[in-house]
Amino acid sequence: MALLGSAPRGRRGGFSLIEILVALVIVGILTALLGQIMESLMQGSTDLRARFRHADDTSAIRRLLHRDVQSLRILDLEECDKDTLALSTTHDLLQDEAFPVSVVWETAHGRLVRIERNKDINYINSIDLGRDVAAFKLELLSAREDRWQRVDHFGGQTAQTAHITALRITIGFKDSQSVVVVERLPYAITAYSDAH
């Protein structure tokens, strides 16, 4: 005869070993899923930060190049090659008033660098614009030929005699993204007489 309030024979209070093991397996599965979700969120956050940094770099490159070209005095084809842009402009970064500077855009050690200098006042300044740059390609649009050409195609000519109306720079990054910047040269640079 069983006493009142006592457990039936063979059944005691608490959880069986099987019930505890099932609960532990369920908790382990949920923890693993939560870990994967957290890792995915952290990777997404890192990718988003990299995209914002890339967008900031691209915006700065476009803005500076636009200002350089719109303040252009001379496009020096002799100093340009397929991965270097050399020009004379009145757009300087640090001085209050506009004064002529020679500007070179080039790639060095996977970075895009803009260097400006004025030898008359012993002025030099450089700015690092892009990280992880894999390629820099400069092409010029000739009004005479009505097509994009590499710089070496215009050997020995000036921008005026070659009838250059625009430049196109393609910057390739190591993450396989690329940026294409097209700038029309100011009228004063591209003007040429009908006699040519």
Residue 2 belongs to some domain of the structure: no
Assess if residue 83 is contained within a domain.
Answer: yes
For residue 140, give the nearest of 121, 122, 162, 164 by alpha carbon: 164
State the pLDDT at residue 167.
Answer: 86
By three-state DSSP, how is residue 135 classified?
strand
DSSP state of 34: H
d(CA 72, CA 100): 9
Decide if 77 is inside a domain.
Answer: yes
- 3-state SS record for 70-98: HCEEEECCCCCECCEEEEEECCCCCCCCC
Asked whether residue 15 is domain-assigned, the answer is: no
Which residues, in sequence order, are bridge partners of residue 95? none
pLDDT averaged over 10-residue windows placed end to end, the chain, 196 residues: 55 83 95 94 88 81 84 74 76 70 84 86 82 83 84 72 82 82 71 37
Structural domain includes residue 108: yes
What is the residue range of 142's domain? 48-190
Question: Is there a domain that residue 10 lies in?
Answer: no
Domain count, the chain: 1
Residue 107 lies in a domain: yes
185 within some domain: yes
